[in-house]
Amino acid sequence: GAVVSQHPSWVICKSGTSVKIECRSLDFQATTMFWYRQFPKQSLMLMATSNEGSKATYEQGVEKDKFLINHASLTLSTLTVTSAHPEDSSFYICSAPLAGGNTEAFFGQGTRLTVV
């Protein structure tokens, strides 16, 4: 199956700093990528849909100035958590469906963000 790689796997940062998470489709082109947030023992909550070459679409309640998404190429989307605070600590997961219609989405391995 297709491979989605997420980097870093984990990161610890100080409160007030910004953190960038990368999501790459390694063997296919992804015009769309999805960013999820997962709290402990909970399901995945869709944060935003990243669209190559255009603005991301954010879900209701997600601060777009807080969670900056850039999808500059067909194989890379980035999520930047700006001015991170402890409440931003979470597990962030990206996914990408194969282009060309409805199909399954492939998931990255996730990034554990801890803000201290």
Partner 1 sequence: AQSVTQPDIHITVSEGASLELRCNYSYGATPYLFWYVQSPGQGLQLLLKYFSGDTLVQGIKGFEAEFKRSQSSFNLRKPSVHWSDAAEYFCAVGATGGSYIPTFGRGTSLIVHP
Q: Which residues bind partner 1 (CB under 8 A)?
A: 1, 6, 32, 34, 41-44, 46, 49, 91, 93, 95, 97, 101-110, 112
Tell the smallest beta-carbon distance from residue 59 to partner 1 (Å): 10
Nearest to partner 1 of 2, 82 (CB atom): 2
| Closest CB 32 distance from partner 1, rounded Å | 7
Q: Whose Cβ is closer to partner 1: residue 63's or residue 104's?
A: 104
Residues 6+ apart with CB under 8 A from 37: 44, 45, 47, 90, 91, 92, 93
Query: Which are the contacts of 31, defined by CB distance < 8 A and separation ≥ 6?
Result: 51, 52, 74, 99
Cβ nearer to partner 1, comparing 38 with 82: 38
Paired sense of beta strands 90-97 and 32-38, if any: antiparallel
